[in-house]
Amino acid sequence: MMMDKARSILKEYFGYDNFRKGQEEIIQHLLDGENVVGIMPTGGGKSICYQVPAMMFPGLTIVISPLISLIKDHVDTLTEVGIPATYINSTLHSNEVQERVYDIKNGHYKLLYLAPERLEADYFIEILKEVTISFIAVDEAHCISQWGHDFRPSYAKIGFMINKLSDKPIVAALTATATPKVHEDICQLLNIPWENTIKTGFARDNLSFSIIKGQDKGKFLESFLKKNKEESGIIYAATRQEVEKLHDRLLKKGYSVSKYHGGMSDGQREAEQQAFIKDDVSIMIATNAFGMGIDKSNIRYVIHYQLPKNMEGYYQEAGRAGRDGLPSKCILLYSAQDIRIQRFLIDQTINDPDKQKQDIDKLQSMINFCHTEDCLQEYILHYFGDEHAEKCGQCSNCTDERTIIDVTVDAQKVLSCMIRMGERFGKTMIAQVLTGSKNKKLIDFQLDRIKTYGLMKEKSAKEISDFIEFLISEQYIDVSTGAMPILKVSNKGKDVLLGKTTVERKEQVVTVKVSENNTLFEYLRKIRKQLAEAENVPPFVVFSDQTLRIISITMPVTHEEFREIKGIGDHKLQKYGDTMIEHIVKFKNDQHNLSELEDSENKESRTIKEKRSKKSVENSHLVTLDLWKKGLAMKEIAKQRELNLQTIENHLLRCGEEQLEVDWTKFIKPEDQVKVVKAIEKVGMDKLKPLKEELPEEISYFMIKVAIMLEKRGQQILN
């Protein structure tokens, strides 16, 4: 019964149909009057766990939250959905505080957010004693423990306050990180029975992890950014200098960037952060100082430009992508040289030898993560003690379909050249010798006389440099520490020279678009920005990207249709429904006029149509189908449409799902289809990688996908 009420609140205010895993259980405990600890990953939906019950309890709910900016965002979000909430903190004038206290006493609010420092003031607790407080939610509850990574002494006052209150309120503690010690502290200090703990898995299904190795980082980054210009993302770099450097470079190239690191003034940092949160700029370049208390939900990617120092930091930072649940990317650009930066930081800043050893071990786990060939998500979950982890099917290891090239001979050329040069030089000099450069320094050292001089002159110095970078990342070459890194052939490299092992290299990874937005989405995104500016809140508070995406696909034009959309509650319908519908109708009319124009004019219109359909998600697959039927090869279609091959393949698969006529025998022979079906019977069809492993080499991922699609349709291809 009570749960039905909770669900209707979820729908009415937040516009969601169902609770997520864990949410329902936590709320059930609270409604039964029990204290509870909720452990859910970043973006897992902890806020709802106390915001919904807050609407059901008779009295006030107090939320303790550690950061002022976070509190402000939460209160904005609640106000936007029509829930009466407010906060009291040090940014307010004393008369503002008085006013709010007055309103609280008169029952104007359901939720009151407080920073923990408030509880230090005894007079404030006296005030609270005069209010009926039903429920206390402690957000980011790990701050209560000295063992946590964000210990806040004032959190200790929470237990004290609870005891002071006349009616004992129910208590909920929520956090994304709880090692056993922290968990114990939370239970003990807040008087929560250990068994009242609800813990959901740590996996974030909408995140796909990638590691890029042996590739030019700068080039990769720019190619990625070019394809994802409109999207919000964070780039993490290891040092302040690196942040500044990247920031300058991208700014000069015309990207919309902000920056954040410990060397900037408070005011500067705040301004840059706000610009990012409000979508005034799309890219944030920062050290790990950035991110605590950032609830921005529409971050589509997080790129680590350098190796982070441990998995804890890495997962927390990467986890800031995709809070809204839409597919998002976490990319780590690995270069073996970056290990030196992290080693240097450990050696320089830590005196305690035990701590130093611990940090070095953690760094090693981070490096191992970069070298594993297993599922990346699985590695992360194992690291955090989740034994039931399964292959994700979407990380760069699970989906690796690149062909492997044997580069043993080239590797031998490079390594033997290094030996002949006496293993005394860096990357640039080695590359110059191999290309046969006339560089003065090189001539001075008489390196033009050695046997390998000009041995690879058909390649550019840049190509060879990249190749050396690859050999370093695969540990065929060791890099010395120091200001001028010197390269030496490793033991693994010596085996290559002796012909004991071969060297294989994969094709370079190409960048892709994180999300293909349709034209209406791009249009409505601008409208959202205007609405947000008028309300002085961040755009994602008005509508999440996910909500906007659904609107742009379903194109609702009535109140009923609009209300059906995930993320639209009664309040949002009232507030924004008419405006949005107006814009959708206008867009539809414009489109209609455009297609009429196309019908009347012939040749010219076709280009408009093609241009339009490339962008519009709805029709894109049909354009691909059209070209395919005209006899173009898949690769040609990809090239002509400037999309990657996988996208084109997905287009055809979608045509298949929509039962459109495609001659599938062109992709998979009936006997191969039978093989896939047999494999499916054995390992299921939820994950691709196990299937691929089960099948002969020559059956590609695409063939498997085709077979699965046909299997789902229950169709045998005919010969």
Ligand X SMILES: Nc1ncnc2c1ncn2[C@@H]1O[C@H](COP(=O)(O)OP(=O)(O)OP(=O)(O)O)[C@@H](O)[C@H]1O
Site residues (vs ligand X, CB under 6 A): 16, 18-20, 23, 40, 42-48, 176, 295, 297, 323-324, 544
> Using CB under 5 A, which of 78, 212, 395, 524 touches Zn ion?
395
Does position 688 bind Zn ion by CB under 5 A?
A: no
Whole-Å CA distances, 137 to 35, 85, 113, 114: 10, 14, 9, 10
Taking CB within 5 to 8 Å according to partner kind, which of Zn ion, Mg ion, ligand X, none is near residue 543?
none
272 vs 555: CA distance, rounded Å: 35
Taking CB within 5 to 8 Å according to partner kind, which of Zn ion, ligand X, Mg ion, none is near residue 44?
ligand X
Nearer to Zn ion, 396 or 435 (CB): 396
Does position 332 bind Zn ion by CB under 5 A?
A: no
Cβ 46 to Mg ion, closest distance in Å? 5
Helix (H) or strand (E) holding 123: helix 122-129
Tokens of 18: 């169902």
Decide if 279 contacts 232 (C-beta within 8 A). yes
Q: Which residue is nearest to Mg ion (CB)?
A: 46
Nearer to ligand X, 24 or 448 (CB): 24
What sign for the dihedral angle of Cα 160, 165, 171, 174? negative
Angle (nearest 5°) at CA 310 between 308 and 312: 110
Decide if 357 contacts 364 (C-beta within 8 A). no
Q: What is the DSSP letter of 460?
A: -
Binding window for Zn ion (CB under 5 A); candidates: 73-81, 140-148, 297-305, 369-377? 369-377
134's CB contacts (< 8 A; 6+ apart) are: 57, 58, 59, 60, 61, 167, 169, 170
Nearer to Zn ion, 506 or 529 (CB): 506
446 vs 466: CA distance, rounded Å: 25
Binding window for Zn ion (CB under 5 A); candidates: 77-85, 385-393, 403-411, 425-433? 385-393
Does position 392 bind Zn ion by CB under 5 A?
A: yes
Taking CB within 5 to 8 Å according to partner kind, which of ligand X, Mg ion, Zn ion, none is near residue 43?
ligand X
Nearer to ligand X, 172 or 434 (CB): 172
Cβ 548 to ligand X, closest distance in Å? 12
Cβ 238 to Zn ion, closest distance in Å? 25
55's CB contacts (< 8 A; 6+ apart) are: 9, 13, 83, 110
> Across-strand partners of 258?
284
Nearer to ligand X, 490 or 547 (CB): 547
* CA Rg value for the chain: 29
Nearer to ligand X, 23 or 342 (CB): 23
Taking CB within 5 to 8 Å according to partner kind, which of Mg ion, ligand X, Zn ion, none is near residue 16?
ligand X
Cβ 517 to ligand X, closest distance in Å? 18
33 vs 54: CA distance, rounded Å: 13
What's the length of the chain?
719
The phi, psi pair for 642, rounded to 5°, reads 55, 40
Does position 429 bind Zn ion by CB under 5 A?
A: no
Token match 């050696």: residue?
347
Binding window for Zn ion (CB under 5 A); candidates: 336-344, 375-383, 474-482, 500-508? 375-383
Task: Single out the residue of 394, 402, 399, 400 nearest to residue 377, CA to CA.
Answer: 394
Half-sphere exposure of 656 (CA within 13 A, CB side): 25
Binding window for Zn ion (CB under 5 A); candidates: 42-50, 54-62, 250-258, 398-406? 398-406
Classify each residue of 261-277 as buried b or exposed e, where b means 16 or more C-beta atoms within 10 Å of its C-beta.
beebeeeebeebbebbb
> Using CB under 5 A, which of 158, 173, 398, 431 touches Zn ion?
398
Task: Single out the residue of 154, 158, 152 nearest to residue 172, CA to CA.
Answer: 158
Cβ 324 to ligand X, closest distance in Å? 5
Taking CB within 5 to 8 Å according to partner kind, which of Zn ion, ligand X, Mg ion, none is near residue 375?
Zn ion
Nearer to Zn ion, 207 or 307 (CB): 207
Binding window for Zn ion (CB under 5 A); candidates: 373-381, 503-511, 551-559, 589-597? 373-381
Cβ 137 to ligand X, closest distance in Å? 11
Nearer to ligand X, 158 or 430 (CB): 158
Cβ 19 to ligand X, closest distance in Å? 5
Does position 375 bind Zn ion by CB under 5 A?
A: yes
Taking CB within 5 to 8 Å according to partner kind, which of ligand X, Mg ion, Zn ion, none is near residue 392?
Zn ion
Binders of Zn ion in range 587-626 (CB under 5 A): none
Cβ 150 to ligand X, closest distance in Å? 12
Taking CB within 5 to 8 Å according to partner kind, which of ligand X, Mg ion, Zn ion, none is near residue 324?
ligand X
Decide if 75 contacts 87 (C-beta within 8 A). yes
Cβ 24 to ligand X, closest distance in Å? 9
Taking CB within 5 to 8 Å according to partner kind, which of Zn ion, ligand X, Mg ion, none is near residue 48?
ligand X
Task: Single out the residue of 138, 136, 192, 215 nearest to residue 470, CA to CA.
Answer: 215
Task: Single out the residue of 331, 344, 66, 71 nearest to residue 210, CA to CA.
Answer: 331
213's CB contacts (< 8 A; 6+ apart) are: 334, 370, 470, 473, 474
Binding interface with Mg ion (CB under 5 A): 46
Taking CB within 5 to 8 Å according to partner kind, which of Mg ion, ligand X, Zn ion, none is near residue 710?
none
Nearer to Zn ion, 157 or 689 (CB): 689
- Write down the H helix ranges in 231-334: 240-252, 266-277, 311-318
Nearer to ligand X, 176 or 648 (CB): 176
Nearer to ligand X, 39 or 655 (CB): 39
Instruction: With CB under 5 A as the rule, give the number of residues binding Zn ion.
Output: 5
Taking CB within 5 to 8 Å according to partner kind, which of ligand X, Mg ion, Zn ion, none is near residue 474?
none
Cβ 130 to Zn ion, closest distance in Å? 55
Decide if 36 contacts 26 (C-beta within 8 A). yes
What residue ranges bind Zn ion (CB under 5 A)? 375, 377, 392, 395, 398
